[in-house]
Structure 1
């Protein structure tokens, strides 16, 4: 089964738009016939299309950023290349271009209106209040994802064209029912067992071995006692937060900012609302209830007895004029506190509204929020000024000015950082230090970074002055750590050995697990009936227990490691799955998808022979030295 085809949920545009399909074929390699080491400066040429170095670099940076959500902010370019992410990025781009080229040859086109409608319909670009397309949200999403607007629009168009081809191939296959039922039965089988944990304190009396043993342990487990690579770094930063403290602000600027931000300092009138609701065909009942209220009837009594409402539904809560049902707005905000309305018709039925409390509108004065407004003006001016300062710093560096002198020329902060270790921040109170740390470890000794910008807008340049390679710490320096680690391993070995003996007594001598637990001063815990996924495990039971239960025969036991605990686990019950109608449907869907992926992969093989594809490794090597898409 070829696993190279990804649904749009994993494509480059799926992070933002749902509903358009993009296919990424990352399972096939770039064979020798596809390599072209000529004079072209394009990364690849696919029929009438090409992949430029800039397009590859942007796509690769997006891939790295996505991986950082999995591996953390210290995941860097070199790690990405070592994991094959660069190769996959090239292949993804080539695959997308092949499908689009095929769609063009077939005469498939997507109009501007269809592309626009697709983008406008994306929930990620819609205002949460109005449900309408919000251009600011759209541009912010593109910025965060590393796309230009034209690039994104054409990407959506290309994906829609490719989907026209994909849709014509997928969907005609059927998965065998017998296979689907067998897989469903396998997945839905349940098992239950019982276990107890050995007491670690009973294995504390472990004597310290001789130095020869410890030295061998020190050598055999060298990574555990190795000092990580460290770096001495010069770091220059420009941040709006630092600049803001020295910004001058006039009274006119404060007044202007206050007036501009006035809605932020206004709290609209709020009203606590209750309602009696009758169905749309119960107008007369609503009018009778209104008369009863006029005659002094209790509002809650009428709601519960005449309208049959639950008391919790009567109390609607607190509303402003903007967030109450529009058809009820006038009635609600025209009432005095404690008053109730005549019946009001909406699509839900007939409402009688009562206002039980009113919180008047309130506006904070400039004096009350002066500090906040002033700080906001300073921050705004600083953010405006930092663009010019960053450009000046870039110009200075481009002209060959030493880093420290360039920093002084624009008023940037300079830090001398010693013993910087990968993934451990910078320890000097610098914002976004994890991002900067990751960049530092992409540099070689003596190399300056470009002028970079962190996710919160801090501009910085880093230079690696010294690199201290990772090295095994001398045994004498870490002897205490070696002793502690050896004892911990020895304790765990002895516990597993004891647990194996106890499990063997169950398997070979039919020993009772409860009696064994009592002899070990432990308590038996029931796992609960669980599936292979761990679904059904009792609270607090490790998923390792579920995995182990499905390796045992009924009535048998084994020793397992669960975190720092060592358990004796026995399988007590096997409950075969009963497959009812519809239970195998999810499996059928998965099998059909897998079969469709095979068909699409074969179609891609066909397209490789029909559409000219060349990949220029020399250009890729120039972008990322000593790497290649293989």
Structure 2
């Protein structure tokens, strides 16, 4: 249902929906791999692209954001190239989103709103790319990510501040939108509308001339449809895998380190005692003393607790220090001063007065160094190997930054360098359909396709703390169609289908015209003079159409049938020049939702969301008008031209 209404209002909501998810920094980092290096397209300079209030959006910032957005889209659609992305509106979409972000933040600042440092810190700490293997914020990862993305901390904080201000301002903009019932009923009734019709197919193969096409005609067709055969950008990747296990036989702790670790952790190995405890906590000392007297008189701890509406809690086996931390030192002293089976207390903690029964006592003797040597060696070895692995990755990154090649580093570190064939961004080899990349490529490919051709090698974390790869892009094959000679058979087939499709269109148009003039579909097909498949009868409701639309499975002829007048026929092209459809609408059955409270309620809810989005979009426009937006069209045109590969 929501897809149906979104289509109705798409022209009004474009601005808002491009901005709605206030995730600019997630957009710039999480979806563009903060571990990538540099930007694609060689954007240089940092002139002002747009002045928004007191802020300036530079061409450098805009170019970087466009490249990040393009790379994110390219991961979903490996056939996408930068030129297609920009010409398809990608550049303008990113520009609008950034202008909105700056405008909202400037408007909020102008009228006294703020996003505090602690709030920004919290948002930054929640970004996965800035977290270490333990899931906590890592200063090292944070600095490395900023450096690789070409940002500084001030830029990052400014981005988060703008987003937080937007979150505060936009949340209530569309809240409580009212929807008139007179508007809800007609649209709810549309979902109950049903249509019945027929679909005739006019296939291109019925009109194909099997004579071999002329070379000039084939070349002209290929040139006109080159994008159909374009192979997306491919990259040859050289990589060297290395794991933590490489240090297993190289790192052993010294006797001095073992003794030092033992002395540093002597309390862990000293003699200790744990006690299995049960306890009852009461609010006053008088009540506690009365309960102790009852227990000393022969009543069990459980029964005594139940007599005053409480229950005994099992503490379990615990040391004196741990019990002092969970209760109080006074309670722990009392509990560890009596013999097994005795009652300790009452003693006070912040929770109240404790009566503790000692169920059992376990004495743990001291453990000398010889007894725990293996345990200490394992702990020290693990820690030293982790430290060595971290030092290795940092050292390799530094060497790459200083100009060392992958081959240089691999030779020095005794790593084996492997090379892939020219791969697409999804890991497929267009020249070998049976090729399967190694599992590690799932982490390597996004980085390899994010860096520029002349970028230094990258260190990619495959398994956190366990396995890494040194990665270099050896060769980049730009997106381009192959030579005609290589795919001449395929192009010849498509050319013949194209020619057949043109003839099929003429027949389909003739049939549609006849049916719209009152001729039955069967007679119009018979009069066409070509043997065609029998037409197919179809029927559906708008609710069916909306449901299929949400799943992305609406057949184009069915969609067309719901935009036609009763008793008319229209022709529609089939995909890939396969032929044409003739769609006939025989009957339209109007719906009535006036007594369908469930449908009316659902439709009203959807409209509230649509109205709220519209109010939010208008609020953004009002903020932009209030603070002023001045675009530098010359700079914007120059940047777009540069991204497209122009001078």
Normalising by structure 1, we get a TM-score of 0.53
Describe the SS at the equivalent of 1:393: helix
Matched, 1:237 2:240: yes
Aligned ranges 1:176-325 → 2 under 5 Å: 178=182, 181=185, 184=188, 189-197=193-201, 206-224=210-228, 233=236, 235-240=238-243, 244=245, 247-248=248-249
Deviation string 1:40-68 (CA, Å, 9 cap, x unpaired) is: xx998975x89899998997787567545
In the alignment, the residues of structure 2 paired with residue 439 and residue 76 of structure 1 have an alpha-carbon distance, to the nearest angstrom, of 17
CA contact (8 A) 1:193 1:572 kept: yes
More displaced 10-residue stretch of structure 1: 498-507 or 83-92: 83-92
Aligned to 2:592: 578
Structure 2: distance between partners of 1:394 and 1:465:
21
Match of 2:22 in 1: 11
- In structure 2, the partner of 1:429 is 437
Equivalent residue for 2:77, pick from 48, 71, 81:
71
Residues 83, 462 of structure 1: alpha-carbon distance in 2 compared, 3 angstrom cutoff = farther
Superimposed CA distance per residue, residues 164-200 of structure 1 (whole angstroms, 9 cap, x where no aligned partner)? 5446654586556555555555566432222344577
Q: In 1, are the aligned partners of 2:23 and 2:163 still within 8 Å (CA)?
A: no
Q: Which residue is 1:448 aligned to?
A: 455
With over 3 angstroms needed to count, the CA separation of the structure-2 counterparts of 1:452 and 1:513, relative to structure 1, is farther
Alpha carbons of structure 1 residues 531 and 161: separation in structure 2 relative to 1, 3 Å = same
Q: Secondary structure at the match of 2:541?
A: coil
Alpha carbons of structure 1 residues 394 and 615: separation in structure 2 relative to 1, 3 Å: farther
Tell me the SS of whatever aligns to 1:529: strand
Q: Give the conservation status (yes or no) of the 8 Å contact 1:2–1:598.
A: yes
Q: 1:441 to 1:36 in 2, by over 3 A?
A: closer
Q: Deviations over 1:6-34 (max 9, x none)?
A: 49852207989xxxxxxxxxxxxxxxxxx
Please give the alpha-carbon distance, in whole angstroms, between the structure 2 residues aligned to 1:492 and 1:37: 51
2:606 aligned with 1:600: no
Give the distance between the partners of 1:443 and 1:108, measured in 2 at CA. Answer: 38
Kept in 1: contact 2:509–2:570 (CA 8 A)? yes
Q: Which of 565, 568, 572 is residue 560 of structure 1 equivalent to?
A: 572
Partner SS, residue 389 of structure 1: helix
Q: Secondary structure at the match of 1:461?
A: strand
Structure-1 residue corresponding to 2:260? none
Could you say what secondary structure the match of 1:527 adopts?
A: strand
Q: How does 1:399-438 map to 2 (within 5 A)?
A: 399-416=402-419, 419=422, 425=428, 429-431=437-439, 433=441
Q: Deviations over 1:391-420 (max 9, x none)?
A: 222222233334421232223432455655
Aligned to 2:491: 482
- Residues 1:398 and 1:44: Cα distance change in structure 2 (over 3 Å): farther
| Change beyond 3 A, Cα 1:599–1:422 | closer
Q: For the Cα contact (< 8 Å) 2:52–2:627, is it kept in 1? A: no
Aligned residue in 2 for 1:461: 471
8 A Cα contact 2:15 2:617, kept in partner:
no
Q: Given that residues 53 and 103 in structure 2 are in contact (C-alpha distance below 8 angstroms), is that contact kept between their aligned partners in structure 1? A: yes
Shift of 1:547: 1.8
Distance in 2 of aligned mates of 1:36 and 1:601: 26
Task: Please give the secondary structure, in 2, of the residue aligned with 1:194.
Answer: strand
- Match for residue 557 of structure 2 among 536, 545, 555: 545
The equivalent residue for 2:376 is none
1:50-65 pair list within 5 angstroms: 63=69
Residue 354 of structure 1 is matched in structure 2 by none
Distance 1:485 1:43, change over 3 A: closer
| Distance in 1 separating the partners of 2:403 and 2:470 | 17
What residue in structure 1 maps to residue 537 of structure 2?
526
Give the CA deviation at 1:600: 0.7
1:510 is matched with 519
SS of the residue 1:5 aligns to: helix
Distance 2:462 2:81 in 1: 15
Q: Distance in 1 between matches of 2:552 and 2:120?
A: 49
CA apart distance, 1:423: 5.7
Q: Spell out the pairing of 1:94-133 with structure 2 (5 A cutoff).
A: 95-96=100-101, 98-104=103-109, 106-108=111-113
Q: Matches of 1:614 and 1:217 in 2, distance apart? A: 41
Q: Does 1:569 align with 2:583?
A: yes
Q: 2: CA distance between counterparts of 1:75 and 1:139?
A: 35
| d(CA) in 2 for partners of 1:531, 1:576 | 10
**Residues 532 and 546, structure 1, Cα contact 8 Å, conserved in 2:** no
CA distance in 1, matches of 2:458, 2:563: 55
Q: Which has the larger radius of gyration?
A: 2
Cα separation, 2, equivalents of 1:82 and 1:383: 48
Q: Which residue is equivalent to 1:263?
A: none
Separation in structure 2 between the aligned mates of residue 55 and residue 480 of structure 1, nearest angstrom? 46
Q: Tell me how far apart the structure 2 counterparts of residues 504 and 57 of structure 1 sit (CA, whole Å).
A: 51
Q: Runs of 5+ in structure 1 lacking a partner?
A: 17-34, 126-134, 253-377
State the distance in 2 between where 1:442 and 1:69 align.
10
- Superimposed CA distance per residue, residues 478-536 of structure 1 (whole angstroms, 9 cap, x where no aligned partner): 44333322233344444444444444453446225499599957455332223287247
The alignment of Structure 1 onto Structure 2 pairs a total of residues equal to 458
Aligned-residue CA RMSD (Å): 6.0
Cα deviations by residue, 1:589-625 (Å, 9 ceiling, x for unpaired): 255325413541343124414xx99999999x99x98
Counterpart Cα distance in 1 of 2:513 and 2:631: 62
In structure 2, the partner of 1:359 is none
Aligned with 1:394 (options 393, 397, 400): 397
Partners of 1:504 and 1:395 lie apart in 2 by 72
Rounded Cα–Cα distance in structure 1 between residues aligned with 2:538 and 2:384: 61
